[in-house]
Amino acid sequence: MTREEVYEIFSKFAVDDEFVSAEPFGGGHINDTYLVVCKNSKYTLQQLNHHVFREPEHVMHNIRLVTEHLAAQIRAAGGDPLRETLNIVRTRDGNTHYYDGQRGFYRVFTFVDGARSYPKVETPVHFYNAARAFAKFQKQLAGFRAGDLYETIPNFHNTVSRYKDLLLAIDYDKAGRCAFVESEIAFVRERRDLCHVVVDAIEEGSVPIRVTHNDTKYDNILIDDATGEAICIIDLDTVMPGSMLYDYGDSLRFGTNAGAEDDRDLSRVYCRMDLFEEFTRGYLEVLGPNLTPREIELMPLAGRLITFECGMRFLTDFLNGDVYFKIHRPSHNLDRARAQFKLVQDMENRYDEMVAIVQKYKERYCHD
Ligand code: GN1
Ligand code: MG
């Protein structure tokens, strides 16, 4: 969108401040985000991806309820809800979003100043702080009624159904790309049993359904510039019923990777065990006593599982002709899939070390 277009959309929202500028912002793969600067205040304006989120009203319903719940908890703990959670700016008509009838669906949040998200973990203690914040988020939502939330993307972390989606994409071979990815497909087929682990545990009841974030990428958390504390969790579009193993696992997928999510140099892609330990330490310190034995037992597998799932999703999108994730170069989704699979392999090799680390902090923080 041009600056004028952003301004036109932004003017529908109840902000009484003078518009100064608008710039594309952030590195998300789904929505389009802009930083809107006014004379005395700042905002993020987002165009929600309608293809991915088929029911944008449901997304906003969830975010409204979740942020209201979080704000009440933060206030009760003496915190500042304007910095510690997202705040929806209503339209001049009092809605949580604006639909322009054709181009799209927009929403505005107040911008948290003096904090930023990072595309990569630069300082291990930031990752430890992020773990504590994600675990705290989980705790804050413990009393929230999961039944009040819509499932904004059905089967989002159902790894079994993600595997089936990939098989369908292989069958259709819409973009004629199957022949290029035989070894990646073989890699996935060899690990098909992995898809069942958490899905089965949920079904048999040993892993409980909780309200989870479901997209706990390190760049979905704001780190305070002054203190290094992880203060605010953003990107609440997929807050839904799920397993804590998805949240813990997705943070590890993105954050422990020594390379980039889409690194073409696979020698750079491996799991940094120092970061694995920092994250696990922070997470169990805050949430350990609330977890079931089976959840803890599956923690060493969670990073590998979600990395595998994400790799399958990138590969599926590559085969479908890049219709889901934004891409910035041809074969971008394939590069992403390959990097995820390299990370899966490395996590397999380090499984025993992961078990030992989880055990160490279980003994320290979980009392059974
Ligand atoms: C997407 O929107 P963003 O970039 O935070 C995706 C996640 C993936 C992630 C991979 C709604 O997250 O599930 O793990 O890309 N979000 C959705 O980087 O599909
Ligand atoms: Mg995001």
Give Dmax over CA atoms of the chain in angstroms. 59
DSSP 195-232: GHHHHHHHHHTSS--EEE-S---GGGEEEETTT--EEE
Q: Which atom of ligand 1 is nearest to the CA of 220?
A: 5
User: Could you say which ligand is closest to the alpha carbon of residue 254?
Assistant: 1
Q: How much is the pLDDT for 368?
A: 63
- Whether residue 66 contacts residue 144, with contact meaning beta carbons closer than 8 Å, is answered with yes
Interval 182-230: pLDDT, tens? 999 999 999 999 999 999 999 999 999 999 999 999 999 999 999 999 9
Among 33, 215, 307, which residue has the most ligand 1 atoms within 8 Å of its CB, making it the best to mutate? 215
Calculate how far, in angstroms, residue 321's C-alpha sits from the geometric centre of ligand 2: 22
User: Could you say which ligand is closest to the alpha carbon of residue 214?
Assistant: 1
Query: Which residues have any ligand 1 atom within 6 Å of their CB?
Result: 28-30, 52, 215, 217, 220, 235, 237-238, 261, 310
pLDDT at 311 over 90: yes
Among 44, 217, 322, which residue has the most ligand 1 atoms within 8 Å of its CB, making it the best to mutate? 217
DSSP 158-209: -HHHHHHHHHHHHHH-TTS-GGGGHHHHHHHHHTGGGGHHHHHHHHHTSS--
Q: Which residues, in sequence order, are bridge partners of residue 21?
A: 37
Q: Is 12 helix (H, G, I), strand (E, B) or coil?
A: coil
Residue 327: pLDDT band (50, 70, 90) is very high
Q: How much is the pLDDT for 357?
A: 98
Residue nearest to atom 18 of ligand 1 (CA): 29
Calculate how far, in angstroms, residue 235's C-alpha sits from the geometric centre of ligand 2: 5
Calculate how far, in angstroms, residue 368's C-alpha sits from the geometric centre of ligand 2: 36
**Helices in the chain by DSSP H: which ranges?**
3-10, 56-76, 81-84, 124-140, 159-172, 182-190, 196-204, 244-255, 273-287, 293-319, 332-349, 351-365
pLDDT at 102 over 90: no
Nearest to 307 by CA among 269, 265, 277: 269
Interval 243-291: pLDDT, tens? 999 999 999 999 999 999 999 999 999 999 999 999 999 999 999 999 9
Residue 146: pLDDT band (50, 70, 90) is confident
